[in-house]
Amino acid sequence: MKFLAALISVISLACFSWSACPIPSLPNPAAGQQSALEDLRHIGLRYSQEGHYRDAAASYEEVLHTAQALGISDTTVVTDLQNLALIAEEMGNYMDARNYYLRELDLLNHLGAASSVAAGEAYLELGGLLQIQGLFSEAETHYKKAVGLLTQHAGSDDLRTAKALGRLGRLYMERAKFAEASTLLRKARATAEKSLTEDNPKLITFFDAEAYFLCQTGKYREAEKKWMSALKIAERAYGENEIQYGTLLLHLGQMYSVLGDYPAAETMLQRSLAANEKTSGSDPVDRAIIMSSLAAAYTKHRKLADAAPLVKSGEASDASCSEAPISCAFIRSNLGGYYMTTGQWGAAKLEFGRALKLREDTLGEHPLVADSLISLSRALRMLNRKKEAKIYKTRAGQILESQRNPAYDASNTIDVRSFQANNR
């Protein structure tokens, strides 16, 4: 996942805190230098939109270096730091991303804007990063800070506040807190629809979130309608540049696979994979998620010859399970499913066991843990280890009973890493 571990510049290492690294007072840099900075920012934005993340990061790093040399420490630099953090996330450089977010918050404090809309947005993005890493309690804390700051300084009906409510709702969805999730997601979408036209691409994130919720609670046809609405908006807004909505295609493909519409699933997932292949420097876990989902669709469709090369790639990939444990568990579970279908019981047991450990360590008593326990029990039963299989199955039943969420469909959990990527 550390695609560009060496990307952190001297600035990042030597000057983490703005208060600890005084900036010379040069309030009026030459117009030509300011223009050069803006040109670099536009170049970085273009590279980012085209999926050239390494080039985008290099452009923004140069912006930071130049801004520091000119003594600029204003809100434009705050935005530069957030853009670098988002790009670092896209490349899977989570430690770098976290450092950029913290530097952003430190600079805001240095500027006297610790309580502001900008700070709320920084807490929101930092919460998203922590959620990807499976640090749910910390993520919840940061999301709530974001909601509070944005509600206070932007207003309860502001789109940014709606986005924060939606993110918190998705976190509760991941934690199987369905009542809280439903309330927040609906409120977020209703707020967004008040200020946006029906074809505005900013609506995609809200439709995606609600579709995710509906899909997880077994309301597949309603979820399909939401996702198809989002896809129509995306196709009108972005055309053939599927990089902009590749994860939306992924989510649709995953849902069609659950519904048993494998041709539709394969079409969506192939499009998502093609979009990912157009990027450079992107997080390899993103690619592994898409390939794993496509392999699972092929496996269920009994197209094992098509699934095999994707599985081999998944075996070879070294997804950083410590950085994105839920994503890694998702990939491992799909590998286990392929091995079960092809009669490789020992390999299936190994992958299901890995997924179980990751989910237990991250989620505790959660329906996804129950899903892994059930999968592992099936593999053990095929290995004639029926006593162990019964123990795992019994524990899974206890978890599901304690959760009291009969609508939850653990077999249809969209990976949080891929889901977050579509909601910036």
Measured distance CA(305)–CA(303) in Å, rounded: 6
For residues 216 and 195, is the Cβ–Cβ distance under 8 A? no
Token duo for residue 228: 């198809």
Please count the other Cβ atoms lying within 10 Å of the Cβ belonging to residue 75.
13
Q: What is the 3-state secondary structure (H, E, C) of 187-214?
A: HHHHHHHHHCCCCCHHHHHHHHHHHHHH
pTM: 0.82
Sequential pLDDT tens for the chain (424 residues): 222 222 222 222 223 344 434 333 344 555 667 788 889 999 999 999 899 999 999 999 999 999 988 888 899 999 999 999 999 999 989 999 999 999 999 999 999 999 999 999 999 999 999 999 999 999 999 999 999 999 999 999 999 999 999 999 999 998 888 899 999 999 999 999 998 999 999 999 999 999 999 998 889 999 999 999 999 999 999 998 999 899 999 999 999 999 999 999 999 999 999 999 999 888 888 899 999 999 999 999 999 999 999 987 766 555 567 788 999 999 999 999 999 999 999 999 999 999 999 999 999 999 999 999 999 999 999 999 999 999 999 999 999 888 765 444 545 555 444 444 444 4
Q: How much of the chain is helix, strand and coil, in % rounded to 5?
A: 75, 0, 25
Residue 72: strand, helix, or coil:
coil
Q: Which residue has the tokens 């989002």?
A: 230
Q: What pLDDT shows up at residue 6?
A: 21
H helix or E strand, kind and range, residue 250: helix 246-259
51 neighbors 243 (Cβ within 8 angstroms):
yes
- E strand or H helix at 255: helix 246-259
Q: What single-letter DSSP state applies at residue 8?
A: -
SS3 28: coil
Contact 50, 89 (CB under 8 A): no
Q: Which two tokens stand for residue 347?
A: 């390999």
The end-to-end CA distance of the chain, in Å, is 20
Q: Minimal CA–CA distance to 63: which of 77, 78, 46?
A: 77
Q: How many CB atoms lie within 10 A of CB 198?
A: 8
CB neighbour class for 277 (10 Å; exposed up to 12, middle 13-18, buried from 19): middle
Q: What is the pLDDT of residue 283?
A: 86
Cα–Cα distance between 339 and 345 in angstroms, integer? 7
